[in-house]
Structure 1
Amino acid sequence: MNRLYTDLLIKIIANTIYGSGSQVIDPAKMGESTPFNREDRLQGRDWPTVAHSMAGIKRLSNVRDLVQRVIDENVPGDFIETGVWRGGCCILMKGVLAANEVTDRKVYVADSFDGLPQPDAENYPADRGDTLHEYRQLAIDQAQVESNFAAYDLLDDQVVFVKGLFGDTLPGLEAGPFALIRLDGDMYESTMDSLEALYPRLSPGGFAIIDDFALPPCRQAVEDYRARHRIGATIHDIDWTGCWWQKLIAGNQPTETR
């Protein structure tokens, strides 16, 4: 793999080269921005106006490194992200495949492409009071994400778009196995729907990445799922909010049931 290419790709996706302001995180102030803050952008603590990912350099580097491990370790399967915003992490996945001249794996790009849903507090009490559905800054339509892929010359038939709420689209998705799943759904419902539909299809030796582990509803969903299925794999921190673990091969982790 050309490491220089993927390093540059990460910097462009995060927009740390030219720099741009951050969106004001207030649903009533859509369109307003604050000056570029390099540290916030490196840590992924802002909602950038131009960058193709909210993830900072550490989380993007984690995506690159684990995709490369999948290739180097011959873990079978494709890649999927649930909750893609402007598509940056998926673009990076495809870029790493391209840098390795891998043409027999797909990148699934799953999103409502219309922002987050209103919380279903009756069925998912952990989401009670969640207001993320009010932030239209999070609603990036599929055509824009496709355009972003095309800007990197990375839009082709290895990229598959999955449009709709995760609970509607993922259970019946004719795909898998997966070598890597990256979950960025913020909410309990979105995270649980993704885990229930995708984790059983994650290959032994594959990787699960959680983007929003710092958010209590997301963290609770992950902990509930892992407890229910007796998943004892070590959780590794990426930065202040991201984490990952490896689904170990049968025999190395006898407590995991799925």
Structure 2
Amino acid sequence: MLNQPSPKERYIELLKKTLLFEMWQEHEEDLFSNLMGHGKNVDPLKHQNGEIWPKTAHSMIGRMRMNNLQMCMKTILEEQIEGDFIETGVWRGGACIFMQGFLQAEGIHNRKIWVADSFEGLPPPNEIKYPKDKGDQLHTFSYLAVSLEEVQNNFQKYDLLDTNVHFLKGWFKDTLPTAPIKKLSLLRLDGDLYESTMDSLNNLYHKVSKNGFIIIDDYILPTCQAAVTDFREEHHIQAPLIPIDNHSVYWRKP
């Protein structure tokens, strides 16, 4: 007889399915596909790979990136890597909600979840300081702007809003340099732009513990990829970039 999942494992799996709206996929809509004139129907493969803009789901990162996040957190606990978890660029909060749910399921209460976002969408490109962001239009999409109150409410829907969850509201260049974060074991970047990616790496990478995880959600974007390349070259980082899916990569801090 095959081993049955434990109640903890069942909870974690159910949390992923709910955050991604997988159980009700037939009722989901792909707003990006609709914007491009291709209809609202959700392609299951694109949903799995985090390639849709969901109307309802609390996360758009897809199953493969969500599984990767779980693997990283599980490894952190198994190897006792010190530090909190953070995501910079959270949208509706789904990945951070999963971080909190995972820790709660594991009975871990001494790690904080840092939820960093403008909660106003993306900033207009600073083309003078960051020319690689020139022409980017993501700041014009109100869909990507989710308020702090909505994200907090999403945490509450899962009974996962408590004192271990800390919100950093504002542009990364303003909030991250003074954020009271001592040590990180997981740094998840989802800021799209060169500026946002570089602000996150410049202000937080040095706080990541040895063997901690750096996850780059938007590596497919030329703006984000350029920032990662420049940062790694500047700091002589040789750790291999490991693909997660068609969009994302991660590496472990040497």
Contact 2:93/2:151, CA 8 A, preserved across alignment: yes
The alignment's C-alpha RMSD in Å is 1.7
Candidates 132, 142, 146, aligned match of 2:148: 142
Q: How does 1:1-258 map to 2 (within 5 A)?
A: 2-19=8-25, 20-24=28-32, 34-248=40-254
Contact 1:214/1:240, CA 8 A, preserved across alignment: yes
* Structure with greater helix share of residues: 2
The C-alpha deviation readout for 1:10-65, integer Å capped at 9, x for no partner, is 11111111121111368899xx9712332221111010000011101000111111
The one-letter amino acid of 2:32's match is V
Decide whether aligned partners of structure 1 residues 27 and 174 sit closer, same or farther in structure 2, where only a CA change above 3 A counts.
Answer: farther
Q: C-alpha separation between the residues in 2 aligned to 1:52 and 1:165?
A: 22
Tell me which stretches of 4 or more aligned residues in structure 1 moved more than 3 Å. 24-29
Contact 2:189/2:216, CA 8 A, preserved across alignment: yes
Q: C-alpha separation between the residues in 1 aligned to 2:39 and 2:145?
A: 17
Residue 174 (structure 1) shift: 1.0
Per the alignment, in what secondary structure is the counterpart of residue 135 of structure 2? coil
The C-alpha deviation readout for 1:111-149, integer Å capped at 9, x for no partner, is 000000000111101100000000000000011001111
The one-letter amino acid of 1:246's match is R
For structure 1, the 5+ residue unaligned runs are 249-258
Q: C-alpha separation between the residues in 2 aligned to 1:27 and 1:175?
A: 39
Q: C-alpha separation between the residues in 2 aligned to 1:225 and 1:103?
A: 33
Provide the TM-score with structure 1 as the length reference.
Answer: 0.92
Q: C-alpha separation between the residues in 2 aligned to 1:217 and 1:153?
A: 36
Decide whether aligned partners of structure 1 residues 3 and 133 sit closer, same or farther in structure 2, where only a CA change above 3 A counts.
Answer: same
* Match of residue 255 from structure 1: none
Q: C-alpha separation between the residues in 2 aligned to 1:27 and 1:15?
A: 20
Decide whether aligned partners of structure 1 residues 132 and 225 sit closer, same or farther in structure 2, where only a CA change above 3 A counts.
Answer: same
The one-letter amino acid of 2:248's match is G
Percent identity over the alignment? 43
Q: C-alpha separation between the residues in 2 aligned to 1:233 and 1:38?
A: 33
Contact 1:24/1:33, CA 8 A, preserved across alignment: no
Provide the TM-score with structure 2 as the length reference.
Answer: 0.93
Contact 1:76/1:203, CA 8 A, preserved across alignment: yes
Contact 2:33/2:40, CA 8 A, preserved across alignment: no
Per the alignment, in what secondary structure is the counterpart of residue 23 of structure 2? coil
Q: C-alpha separation between the residues in 2 aligned to 1:28 and 1:6?
A: 34
Residue 204 (structure 1) shift: 0.7
